[in-house]
Amino acid sequence: MDVVILSRADTATDFVARVIARELRRAPQLTLGLATGRTMEAVYARLVQMHREEALDFSACHTFNLDEYAGLPASHPNSYRHYMNQLLFQQVNIDLANTHLPEGVAADFTAECARYEAEIIRCGGIDLQLLGIGNNGHLGFNEPLSAFHSRTRVQVLSPTTLAQNAPQFASPEQMPRRAITMGVGTILDCRRCLLLATGPEKAAIVARALEGPVTSMISATALQWHPACTVVLDKAAAGQLKEKEFYRWVFANQPEWNFYREALPAAKPAPRKQAAKRAVAAGRLK
């Protein structure tokens, strides 16, 4: 696991978008796993900007979303299909036929979950899975005690998740109590994971997920077993990590991230160093 700690939320968001864009340019037929939620809104806005300003091409890629509320049709303003259409799919040149979410109003949820798993396999599996982390450490809607070999299924949402997501609905009573979610095992099958977390409210659960014991009570701890996982944090979300300096050292010396460092503007010398340079130029110092 690589842990990337950046100074601000917008910097962390930009980093994640750049990683996705780099992978998409390398492999235009990439299969992306996508997440929803407030943290992801800025990621999608940045990808849309890159599409418009840098010709980032989505035309050949496929996407699979982590989850969808059970009981909400695609047209519902709180459905994740509506979220994705509004924030990304209808803003870029992706073929909507290649964008996949579970059907929230399927007549047979068991059959729908099996169909979704089969569709992922038909597309060759997920190459890059974008993830967020819930306040209780869930990935997708894999609530506490989700088995690490679990597949796409209907999950009853925990009180913590209901409290976290209910403000997005007109009234808390309107939020569904169940959702269809990729399983932890489905997520672990992807070739690469990219998790983004920002803000001080995520600091405690991030520390438990990354540095605590692996446990089904926190599904995100399963990522400790994934062979290619990158976790991107802002300074606030990394606040309770014990090994911050080690993670910064790895990031500074990891060649994979040169593409990002080379794109950053050169740092300006500190004021004292600038004064010293001026003195050397004037011949007052050697």
Q: Catalytic site residue 67? A: yes
Say how far apart CA 4 and CA 21 lie, in whole Å: 17
CA distance 63 to 59: 11
Whether 62 is a known active-site residue: answer no
Catalytic residue among 117, 143, 189, 234: 143
Catalytic residue among 14, 51, 62, 67: 67
Catalytic residue flag (residue 143): yes
In Å, the largest CA–CA distance within the chain is 83
The question of whether 138 is a catalytic residue gets the answer yes
CA-CA distance, 113 to 127, in Å (whole number)? Answer: 20
Q: Which of 138, 142, 189, 226 is catalytic?
A: 138
Among residues 65, 76, 72, 22, the alpha carbon closest in space to that of 47 is found at 22
Point out the catalytic residue in the list 136, 142, 165, 189.
136
φ/ψ (deg, to 5) at 65: -85, 155
Q: Which two tokens stand for residue 62?
A: 């496929």
Interatomic CA distance for residues 145 and 160, integer angstroms: 14
CB 190 within 8 A of CB 128: yes
- Report the catalytic residues: 67, 136, 138, 143
